[in-house]
Structure 1
Amino acid sequence: MEIKKFKVGNYHAEVTALLGDSGVKFEAKPAVVICPGGSYMYVSKREAEPIAYDFLAQGYQVFILRYSTIGSMIEAEGRTAERDEMYKIASMVEPDKVLGSEFPNPLIELALTLAHIRENIHEYNVDSDNIGVLGFSAGGHLAASLGVHWNQEWLGELTGKESRWYRPNFQVLGYPILDYDMNRIIAEERGIGDPQYMSMASRMVFGGTIEDDILDKATVKNYVSKNTPPTFLWHTGEDRLVFIKNSLDFADALEQHNVPWELHTFHKGDHGLSVATNITGKVNPHVQKWVPLMFEWLDEIT
């Protein structure tokens, strides 16, 4: 395996490429760009390499996007911070300070990542017609944002690229948050969730002031169309941070637009399971099945 890294965007995003065979003498491989979760506050480690190795084993070239967050900003300054300390730092951020995590900046970084891969397919030994995105939680929101907005003129203006360079051929979404306002309303109705955490997470995504236009564009189910790529979703019914209705509503929107989709729901299991094995520290043998189910689905649609 060969490891390469490159920067994207104007803040502190970095991509780690995990490559199997590469070079023009080898057959081009499918590729996936992984967007770990972390509330747009940090990038979760257990939602990065663990699933990356599964894709490598299946013959994919893998790219992990560590998009701009307050966590990557801290690291860029040469510091480290545990999650609890990061929450404390995030709670004290000035309303007008730009962190790089605000929508649509991570989306721009993801689009530029796919464009970079397609512009360098011979270096990475990638099939330009089989490049997808995968995301968990907030990373699922990021992946889905590209899936619904890739052909929008405004995104092309922000990236300076033609949309064909960053069109995803498929998307995989694990317990994704796809409607922030709806998720907040459900939490309030059920009397669960930490209001302070939810407010802080909102600040990471929307900045100090939530603009109606940005909230609308970030509500990705509103923009599902016939141009949305084939989608694989999975979620757990016991998730009390990102409610399963996020995935149910998105699947319904995909169905209405005749987009190929597959949704797997598991009753047991809390938020953030990733591959649900020992390597992640959250073991759930039943939920682990989403990984082989996903690869079976990918074999069918690609």
Structure 2
Amino acid sequence: MEIKKFKVGNYHAEVTAILGDSGVKFEAKPAVVICPGGSYMYVSKREAEPIAYDFLAQGYQVFILRYSTIGTMIEQEGRTAERDEMYRIASMVEPDKILGSEFPNPLIELALTMAHIRENIHEYNVDSDRIGVIGFSAGGHLAASLGVHWNQNWLQELTGKESRWVRPNFQVLGYPILDYDLNRVIANERGVGDPKFMSMAGRMVFGAEITDDTLDLATIKNHVSDQTPPAFIWHTGEDKLVYVKNALDFADALERKGVPWELHTFHKGDHGLSTASKITGKVNPHVQKWVPLMFEWLDELQ
């Protein structure tokens, strides 16, 4: 196994490549870019390496994107911060300060990561037609954003890359937040929303002011087309942070455009389960089944 790192974008995003066999003498492998969650405030460790290990075991080359957040900024300054401290720091951010987590910057970083992999397929021993994305929670929003926007002229202009270089061949989304406004409305209707947290999370994603155009672009179901890559989606009904309707609406949008999709909803299980195995500290034997189901789907897809 070989580990390499490289920077992407203009802020503090870093990619960790975890490779099996590499070099031109080996058969090219499929690859996946992992986008962990963390409310665009930090990058969850539970949704990074534990996911990477499963893909490595199946013969994939793996790239973990630690996109720009307050958390990655703190780490690059040589400091560490627990989640509660990051919440405290986030609540004190000046309105005009640019964090790098604001949409569409993480999307630019993900697109540049995809382009870098395709531009260096021989170094990484990757099959350029079998590169996908997997994301969880906010990382699911990031992965799905590339899925619907990869062929847009505005993204090409922002990245300086032709669309064909950044297209994901598949997308895997775990408990993704795909419609921020919908999620807010549901939370308010059920009386479970934390206004302070929701305001702070919105600041991480949209900056101090949310414009209608940006909110529309960040609402994934609005931009599904017949060019959106096939999707594997899973969610839990008991998730009280990101509601399952995010996944249901997205599957419906994919169906209406004729895009292949597979959706698994598990009744029990809270938010942030990752692989739901011992390595994550959140064990749920039933939900664990999403992992082999996903690999079966990927085998049939490719």
Q: TM-score, normalised by structure 2?
A: 1.00
CA contact (8 A) 1:147 1:168 kept: yes
Secondary structure of the 2:46 match is coil
Where 1:298 maps in the other structure, the secondary structure is helix
RMSD (CA atoms): 0.4
Match of 1:62 in 2: 62
- TM-score for the superposition, normalised by structure 1: 1.00
Per the TM alignment, residue 80 of structure 1 is displaced from its structure 2 partner at its CA by 1.2
Q: Distance in 2 between matches of 1:78 and 1:2?
A: 24
Q: Alpha-carbon deviation of 1:76?
A: 1.7
Deviations 1:275-297 (A, max 9, x none): 00010000000000000000000
Aligned residue for 2:100?
100
What secondary structure sits across from 2:164 in the alignment?
helix
- Provide the rounded CA distance (Å) in 2 between the counterparts of 1:267 and 1:72: 33
Shift of 1:193: 2.6
Distance 1:95 1:142 in 2: 23
Aligned pairs for 1:7-22 (under 5 A) are 7-22=7-22
Segments of 5+ residues of structure 2 without an aligned counterpart are: none
Map 1:114-133 → 2, pairs under 5 A? 114-133=114-133
What's the counterpart of residue 201 of structure 2?
201
Q: Report if aligned partners of 1:193, 1:240 keep a CA contact under 8 Å in 2.
A: no
1:174-189 equivalences in 2 (<5 Å): 174-189=174-189
Q: What is the alpha-carbon distance in structure 1 between the residues aligned to residue 296 and residue 266 of structure 2?
A: 18
Instruction: Assess if the C-alpha contact under 8 Å between 1:68 and 1:100 holds in 2.
Output: yes
1:129-148 CA-partner distances (Å, limit 9, x unpaired)? 00000000000000000000
* Whole-angstrom distance in 2 between the partners of 1:216 and 1:230: 22
Cα distance between partner residues in 2 of 1:7 and 1:85: 25
Q: Return the offset for 1:68.
A: 0.1
- How many angstroms apart in 1 are the aligned matches of 2:96 and 2:250? 32
Secondary structure at 2:131 match in 1:
strand
SS in structure 1 of the partner of residue 39 of structure 2: coil
Q: Deviations over 1:219-251 (max 9, x none)?
A: 011000000000000000000000000000000
* Residues 133-171 of structure 1: CA deviation (Å, up to 9, x unaligned): 000000000000000000000000000010100100000
2:247 matched residue in structure 1? 247
**Distance across 2 between alignment mates of 1:59 and 1:78:** 33
Structure 1 residue matching 2:17: 3-state secondary structure: strand
Residue in structure 2 matched with residue 210 of structure 1 by the alignment = 210
C-alpha distance in 1 between matches for 2:185 and 2:147 = 25
Percent identity, aligned pairs only, is 86
Q: Which amino acid aligns with 2:114?
A: L
Question: 1:77 offset after TM fit, Å?
Answer: 1.7
Q: How many residues align?
A: 302
Confirm or deny: 8 A CA contact 1:36 1:43 kept in the other structure. Answer: yes
**Distance in structure 2 (CA, Å) of the matches to 1:247 and 1:274:** 16
Counterpart Cα distance in 2 of 1:85 and 1:296? 40
Distance 2:270 2:127 in 1: 36
Unaligned residue ranges in structure 1 (runs of 5+)? none
Q: Which residue of 1 aligns with 2:163?
A: 163
Q: 3-state DSSP class of the match of 1:272?
A: coil
